Amino acid sequence: MVSNFRQKEILELARKDGKVTVDGLADLYDVTVQTIRRDLSDLADTGRLERVHGGAVLPSGVTNIVYEERRRLNDTGKKAIALACARAIPDGASVFMNIGTTTEAVARELRDHENLLVVTNNLNIANILAINHSCEIILAGGVLRRADGGIVGGLTVEMVKQFKFDYSVLGCSAIDADGDLLDFDGQEVMVSGTAIQRSRKVMIVADHLKFTRKAPLTICSLSDVDVLFTDCALAPELAENCRSWGTEVVTP
């Protein structure tokens, strides 16, 4: 019974922070690391967590984490990323913003900007920015994805093609070790890819958890990106690649 209760709490911590560590949990519960490893193995065996070196993360693969759970992951890191990104966007800019909890965090930090034109395929971003009366908001038409308020499909792509944005602010589901940005939904990938082509400056907002996850579809490479905003230092090889590509990395 004690073990079951502890495992439920461990799962909640993982959902809140995105990752748990063996040493941290052993200290928290005042038990041995072997006990924690057994707990994590049990949770991994039932598919609720995925083991990584030194701990465990929420599972990844060919389906994404439920959107409400993603909203709860790493709030502090997302807010820091959002503040840095919003500071880099001047008043009077035209901006495309895609589906994602980190792009939603950026939208919250743009509520005091003036004279923005924001095009988005994210109903949540439109609602967040609605209180900014100097911000013109354009919703890209298409098929509503009820699970996360996203709007996707061919109509969305065609509408995005009509614009030339000063900035695009894009999230993704995962970033591979070679710098590829990954996602789960082919229709969403098409929208993000079109926005990249139609933007003068491409900004990616992705917290450290995205570097521990996997997804099956490629959006683009970090070599196609102007600025990556994240909350962790990159692995040395990827950091060197970003330097060679001319991709700025901002870690607030």
pLDDT tens-digit readout, 133-146 = 999 999 998 888 88
Most confident of 10-19, 49-58, 118-127: 118-127
* pLDDT class of 60 with cuts at 50, 70, 90: low
Distance (Å, rounded) from C-alpha 211 to C-alpha 193?
A: 20
Residue pointed to by tokens 């969403």:
188
Mean pLDDT for 119-144 is 94
Mean pLDDT for 224-239 is 96
Percent of the chain with pLDDT over 90: 67
The pLDDT value recorded for residue 63 is: 41
Distance (Å, rounded) from C-alpha 142 to C-alpha 150?
A: 9
Q: Helices (H) and strands (E) in the chain — how many of each?
A: 10, 15
Dihedral angle, C-alpha 95, 215, 23, 237, nearest 10 °: -70
Tell me: pLDDT of 68 over 90: no
The pLDDT value recorded for residue 66 is: 47
Tell me: pLDDT of 65 over 90: no
Q: Between the CA of residue 83 and those of 91, 115, 129, what are the distances in Å?
A: 15, 18, 15
The pLDDT value recorded for residue 76 is: 86
Mean pLDDT for 208-227 is 93
* pLDDT class of 237 with cuts at 50, 70, 90: very high
Beta-sheet pairing, 150-152 with 143-145: antiparallel
Which of 32, 17, 179 minimizes the C-alpha distance to 6? Answer: 32
The pLDDT value recorded for residue 73 is: 62
Whole-number mean pLDDT of the chain?
A: 90
Residue pointed to by tokens 């196609």:
224
All domains of the chain in start order, with CATH: 2-59 (1.10.10.10), 68-250 (3.40.50.1360)
Dihedral angle, C-alpha 231, 229, 49, 10, nearest 10 °: 30
Tell whether pTM > 0.95: no
Distance (Å, rounded) from C-alpha 141 to C-alpha 139?
A: 6
Distance (Å, rounded) from C-alpha 134 to C-alpha 213?
A: 38
The pLDDT value recorded for residue 209 is: 87
Strand order in the sheet with 136-139: 136-139, 117-120, 94-97, 165-170, 199-205, 227-229, 248-250
